[in-house]
Chains A and B, each alone.
Chain A
Amino acid sequence: MSTIVDFLGGDHRACDDLFASAEDAVAQNNWDSARSLFERFQAAMAHHLAMEEKVLFPAFEARTGNSMGPTQVMRMEHEQIRGLLQEMANAVADANHGRYLGLSETLNMLMQQHNLKEENMLYPMSDQVLGGERDDLIRAMEAVSP
Chain B
Amino acid sequence: MKSKEKVPESPVRIMHRFGDGTPSCNRLFLCASVPLCLCASVVNALWLQDKAGRAMSQQAGLSFEQAPPFALPLRFFLTAPLFLLAAAGLIVWDPEALASRWTPPALAVTHALTLGFLAMVMLGALLQMLPVVAGASLPAPRFVAWFSHVSLTLGSVALMAGFLTAAPAAYGIGIALLGGGFAVFLAAASISLAHAVAGVTVNGIRFAVLSLAVTLLLGLALALLRAGWWMPPAVETAIAAHATFGLLGWVLLLVIGVAYQVVPMFQITPPYPPRMSRWLAGALFTLLLLHAAVLLLFPAAAPIVDAGLAGGILLFALATLRLQARRRRKLPDVTLDYWRLGMASLIACVAVWLVAQLWSTWAGSNAYPLLLGVLFIGGFAVSVVSGMLYKIVPFLAWFHLQAQLQARAGSIPTMKDMIAERWTRWQFRLHLAACALLTGATLWPQLAITAGSVLALSALLLWVNLLSAVRRFSRHGGRFS
Contacts and interface: CB of A to CB of B under 8 A. Distances in A.
State yes or no: do A and B come from one complex. Answer: yes
Given A20-B268, A109-B395, 16 more contacts: A21-B328, A24-B330, A66-B58, A69-B57, A69-B58, A70-B59, A73-B64, A73-B66, A101-B416, A102-B417, A106-B409, A106-B416, A117-B64, A117-B132, A120-B199, A122-B64
Given A69-B59, A109-B395, A83 B331 contact: no
Contacts of B6: none
Interface string A90-105: 1000000001011101
A76 B66 CA distance: 10
Given A112-B265, A120-B199, A124-B197, A70 B395 contact: no
B362 to A, nearest CB: 44
Given A69-B62, A70-B59, A86-B409, A102 B328 contact: no
A113 B134 CA distance: 12
Interface stretch (B22-30, B396-404, B429-437): B396-404
- Report the contact-size class of chain A (Cβ under 8 Å from the partner): 35 or more
Interface string B252-263: 000000000100
Given A70-B59, A109-B391, A20 B328 contact: yes
A71 to B, nearest CB: 9
Interface of A: 16-17, 19-21, 23-24, 27, 64-66, 69-70, 73, 76, 80, 83-84, 86-87, 90, 99, 101-103, 105-106, 108-110, 112-113, 116-117, 120-122, 124-125
Interface of B: 57-59, 62, 64-66, 132-135, 197, 199, 261, 265-266, 268, 328-331, 391, 395, 398-399, 402-403, 408-410, 414-417
Given A64-B58, A102-B417, A90 B199 contact: no
A73 B135 CA distance: 12
Contacts of B398: 106
A40 to B, nearest CB: 15
Nearest to B131: A117
Contacts of B265: 108-109, 112-113, 116
B351 to A, nearest CB: 34
Nearest to A79: B406
Contacts of B268: 16, 19-20, 108
Contacts of A121: 62, 64, 135, 197
Contacts of A99: 414
B416 A105 contact: yes
B392 to A, nearest CB: 9
B402 A83 contact: yes
A27 B330 contact: yes
B265 to A, nearest CB: 4
A64 B59 contact: yes
Contacts of B134: 120
B218 to A, nearest CB: 33
Nearest to A21: B328
Nearest to A24: B330
Nearest to A73: B64
Nearest to A117: B132
B416 A110 contact: no
B22 to A, nearest CB: 54
A106 B395 contact: yes
A23 B267 CA distance: 12
Nearest to A84: B409
A125 B62 contact: yes
A106 B261 contact: no
Contacts of B417: 102
A32 B132 CA distance: 37
